[in-house]
Amino acid sequence: MKDRMEKGQEEMKDRSGRKDKRNRIEWRKDKRNEERTRRNEESDPITRRKTDERRDGRSQESLQVLAIDVERLMSLAFAEYPQDVRGQPSSPYFSTLSEMKILSTQQG
pLDDT in tens, 14-57: 666 666 777 777 888 888 888 877 776 666 666 666 666 666 66
Cα(20)–Cα(95) distance, integer angstroms? 58
* CA geometry: angle 11, 16, 19, nearest 5 deg: 130
Q: What is the pLDDT of residues 76-95, one digit of tens each?
A: 877 777 766 655 655 555 55
Residue-range domain boundaries for the chain? 44-69
The sign of the torsion formed by the CA atoms of 67, 73, 77, 78 equals positive
- pLDDT score at 7: 74
